[in-house]
Chains A and B, each alone.
Chain A
Amino acid sequence: MQPIISISNLSKTYANGFEALKNVSLDVRKGEIFALLGPNGAGKTTLINIVCGLVNPGTGSVRVGGHDIVADYRKTRSMIGLVPQELSMDAFETVFATVSFSRGLFGKPSDPAHIEKVLRSLSLWDKRKDKVMTLSGGMKRRVLIAKALAHEPEILFLDEPTAGVDVELRREMWAMVRGLRDTGVTIILTTHYIEEAQEMADRVGIISKGEIILVEDKDVLMRTLGKKQLRIELREPLAAVPTSLTSHGLDLAESGGMLVSTYDASADRTGITALFRDLAREGIAIRDVETRQSTLEEIFVGLLEERA
């Protein structure tokens, strides 16, 4: 499938000499939710800002919907909606006016019915006559999203969309983002809440020190780089792992009250059956058993530590 965003060998060095992006190549597929993860200063916002036209590109090329972002900036920018990290809005305007302004700015004729639809979808319709300055932080964040959606973009960039947002609103936003994806909008989000990426993303890209170090389907990433643990709570604590069980690679935790086995969940033979058989043979009584999948955050931190 033709990618909706295609970034090739993109580099960017700022005037102060800081190399924000180093030969970045990345394709984003139409209709997916793509999460771009990276520590502070990794180059996430620079990458987004170049695609959206806020930062001049260095070398390399960026194509959106098959169009070059410099030569065909009108076409590419009209396809994109951007929700910035900062709550930047004209405080003295009403919600309806500021969202309508955004639609006009992006070259679309006035359409109060569409603005109403967007405001209703974000639970902002009741606030349409309120000035932006009177809204709470969470409401302002919704207004930013409404402004980005006012011109019916095909691509939506969300730069840290739920920063400073309470848990309830965050879940509402996740639902809204999924709803947008279902209507065919491609979504690229940066976030430092990795659970957000784990919850929503179809694919994940990890950027560090201006370089893309990994791009993978989230599920594949979790399966291949993630670890699964079997945690066995014992009725009586052990002083040490019996020698007859050393072949299972067990660790003793919780002051000897728990045996932990790390295994490959995708392997044909996990060794779990043999482990339980050997435990029974040793007469070790079990109180409880649980399995635990490593989180995207653990994978992310592991990858960054590998590269450090």
Chain B
Amino acid sequence: MHKNGHDAASVVRDTIYRATMALDDQKWEDWLDLCDENFHYKITAFSPEINKDMIYLQGQRKEVETLVRLLPKHNTDHSPLRRHTSVYTVDVADDMSTASAVSSFVIYQNMLDGVNSHLDSGESRLFLIGKYHDTFKLEDGKAKFVKREVRLDNRRLDKGSHWPL
């Protein structure tokens, strides 16, 4: 138990779910507030087609900040993404200073544009699936993301994938 009474694993779970909500709402600053100054973000996938581990996107916190700040300057699909996250495991280090967690996620695209918004808007489609592999720094009863690897099961990525996952 932490000195403030919170169970470290619960804090980690709570942080993962808060990140999910911030990402769903495209509140990028709220998401980054949950991340350490040394945060590293990475989207990866294994391709059986080319038999390689691949990196689809990666950056330090500063680069992620730049990326989300420039998002409004880019054209994008308007359909919001909605994540369902389930925290599977949380492992807290013996000295209680760090933790790691594995969560499963399913991301739905809540159609706004679609192929033809007249037909498609209002429905939800399965967009991406995978797992979050997170590392946290535990300090003052809080968990801060130090590292997030988004391991996608998908290699098919159609339009609508412009944002952090």
Do A and B truly interact?
no
